[in-house]
A and B are shown apart, each in its own frame.
Chain A
Amino acid sequence: MQQGFLSKNPSVPVFLGILAAFTLLITLTAEGTGTGAVSATFVKVLGRTLCLALIAVAMDLVWGYTGILSLGHFAFFGLGGYMIGMWLMYQRTRDIVVASLADTPIPATETEINDAIGNQIFGVVGSSEFPAIWVFADSLPIQLALVVLVPGVLALVFGWLAFRARVTGVYLSILTQAMTLALALYLFQNESGLRGNNGLSGLQNIPGLEAVPPATVTMWFFWASALALGLGYLLAAWIVSGKFGSVIRGIRDNEARVRFLGYSVEAYKLTVFTLTACIAGVAGALYYPQAGIVNPAEIAPIASIYLAVWVAIGGRGRLYGAVIGAVVVSMLSTWFTGGRAPDINLGFYTIKWVDWWQVALGLSFVLVTLFAPKGIGGLVDIFTDRRKAGVAGEAGK
Chain B
Amino acid sequence: MSTLLEVSGVSVTFDGFRAINNLSFQIGPAEMRAIIGPNGAGKTTFMDIVTGKTKPDEGRVIWGDENVSLLKMSEAQIARAGIGRKFQKPTVFEEQTVRANLLMALKHERSPLQVLFFKAGPTDAERVEELAAEIGLTEQLERISGELSHGQKQWLEIGMLLAQDPRLLLVDEPAAGMTPSEREHTTSLLVQAAKTRAVVVVEHDMEFVRRLNCKVTVLHEGSVLAEGGLDHVTQNQKVIDVYLGR
Contacts and interface: CB of A to CB of B under 8 A. Distances in A.
A6 to B, nearest CB: 15
Interface in A242-263: 242-244, 246-247, 249-250, 253-254, 256-257, 259-263
Contacts of B103: 243, 246
Interface string A229-249: 000000000010011101101
A268 B116 CA distance: 10
A279 interface: no
A392 B102 CA distance: 18
Nearest to B157: A257
A265 interface: yes
Interface residues of B, number: 33
A277 to B, nearest CB: 15
B75 A259 contact: yes
Interface string A259-279: 111111101100100000000
B58 interface: no
Given A254-B91, A397-B95, A242 B116 contact: yes
Contacts of A271: 112-113, 116
Nearest to A250: B93
B79 interface: yes
A1 interface: yes
Contact of A268 (B87, B112, B119, B144): B112
Nearest to B107: A262
Interface string B99-123: 0100111000011110110111000
B186 interface: no
A261 B91 contact: no
Given A250-B104, A254-B91, A243 B76 contact: no
A155 to B, nearest CB: 14
B223 interface: no
A250 B111 contact: no
Contacts of A396: 95-96
A253 B93 contact: yes
B76 A253 contact: no
Contacts of B217: none
Contacts of A259: 74-76, 79
Nearest to A238: B116
A261 B112 contact: no
Contacts, number: 80
A254 B79 contact: no
B164 interface: yes
Contact of B164 (A249, A261, A265, A392): A261
Contacts of B92: 257
Contacts of A250: 93, 96, 104
A237 B40 CA distance: 46
A249 B93 contact: yes
Contacts of A249: 93, 95-96
Nearest to B74: A264
Contacts of B43: none
Contacts of B11: none
Given A250-B96, A392-B144, A1 B119 contact: yes
A246 B101 CA distance: 8
Nearest to A267: B112
B74 to A, nearest CB: 7
Contact of A244 (B51, B75, B96, B116): B116
Given A253-B93, A253-B94, A262-B80, A244 B74 contact: no
A372 B134 CA distance: 40
Contact of A261 (B79, B94, B95): B79
Contacts of B116: 239, 242, 244, 271
A271 B116 CA distance: 10
Contacts of A260: 51, 75-76, 79, 84-85
25 contacts: A242-B116, A242-B119, A243-B103, A243-B120, A244-B115, A246-B104, A247-B115, A249-B96, A250-B104, A254-B91, A256-B53, A259-B74, A259-B75, A260-B79, A260-B84, A260-B85, A261-B79, A261-B160, A262-B80, A263-B110, A264-B111, A265-B76, A268-B112, A271-B116, A396-B95
5 closest A-B pairs by CB:
A262-B79, A262-B80, A271-B112, A259-B75, A264-B76
Interface of B: 51, 53, 74-77, 79-80, 84-85, 87, 91-96, 100, 103-105, 110-113, 115-116, 118-120, 144, 160, 164
Given A246-B100, A262-B164, A396-B95, 18 more contacts: A1-B119, A242-B116, A243-B104, A243-B115, A244-B116, A257-B93, A259-B76, A260-B51, A260-B75, A260-B79, A260-B85, A261-B104, A261-B105, A261-B160, A262-B110, A264-B112, A271-B113, A271-B116
